[in-house]
Amino acid sequence: MNKWAYFALLLSFALSALLGPVMIPFLHKLKFGQTIREDGPQSHLQKNGTPTMGGVIFLIPMVITSLLYVRQYPLVLPVVLMTVAFALIGFVDDFVKVVLKRSMGLTALQKMGMEIVATAVFVFYMIRNDQVDLGILIPFSGGKIVYIGIFAIIILVLAVLGTVNGANFTDGLDGLASSVTAVIALFFALTSMELNSGIAPVCLAMLGGLLGFLLFNVYPAKVFMGDTGSLALGGFVVACAYMTRTPIFLIVVALIYLVEVLSVILQVSYFKITKGKRIFKMAPIHHHFELCGWSETRVVAVFTIVTILFATIAFIGL
Q: Could you report the per-residue pLDDT of 73-96, keeping only the tens digit for each?
A: 999 999 999 999 999 999 999 988
Neighbours of 275 (CB within 10 A): 6
Q: Which residues contact 42 (CB under 8 A, 6 or more apart)?
A: none
207, amino acid identity? L
Neighbours of 70 (CB within 10 A): 14
Cα distance between residue 237 and residue 221, in whole Å:
23
**pLDDT mean values, one per 10 residues, the chain (318 residues):** 84 98 91 62 61 95 97 95 98 85 77 95 92 93 94 96 96 96 98 94 98 96 95 98 97 98 95 92 94 95 98 97
**Radius of gyration of the chain, Cα coordinates, nearest whole angstrom:** 19
Q: Which tens digits make up the pLDDT trace of 121-152?
A: 999 999 998 888 999 999 999 999 999 999 99
Instruction: Note whether 158 and 166 are within 8 A (CB).
Output: no
Q: What is the 3-state secondary structure (H, E, C) of the chain?
A: CCHHHHHHHHHHHHHHHHHHHHHHHHHHHCCCECCCCCCCCHHHHHHCCCECCCCHHHHHHHHHHHHCCCCCCCCHHHHHHHHHHHHHHHHHHHHHHHHHCCCCCCCHHHHHHHHHHHHHHHHHHHHHCCCCCCCEECCCCCCCEECCCHHHHHHHHHHHHHHHHHHHHHCCCCCHHHHHHHHHHHHHHHHHHHHCCCCHHHHHHHHHHHHHHHHHHCCCCCCCCHHHHHHHHHHHHHHHHHHCCCHHHHHHHCHHHHHHHHHHHHHHHHHHHCCCCCCCCCCCHHHHHHHCCCCHHHHHHHHHHHHHHHHHHHHHCC
What's residue 98's pLDDT? 81
CA distances from 38 to 93, 167, 288 (A): 18, 22, 16
What's residue 108's pLDDT? 85
Instruction: Note whether 213 and 20 are within 8 A (CB).
Output: yes
The maximal CA–CA distance of the chain, rounded, in angstroms, is 58
Q: What is the pTM (predicted TM-score) of this model?
A: 0.94
What's residue 50's pLDDT? 87
Cα distance between residue 241 and residue 237, in whole Å:
6
What's residue 58's pLDDT? 98
Smallest Cα–Cα separation from 65: which of 104, 25, 7?
Answer: 7
Tally the C-alpha atoms within 13 A of residue 239's C-alpha that lie toward its C-beta.
Answer: 29
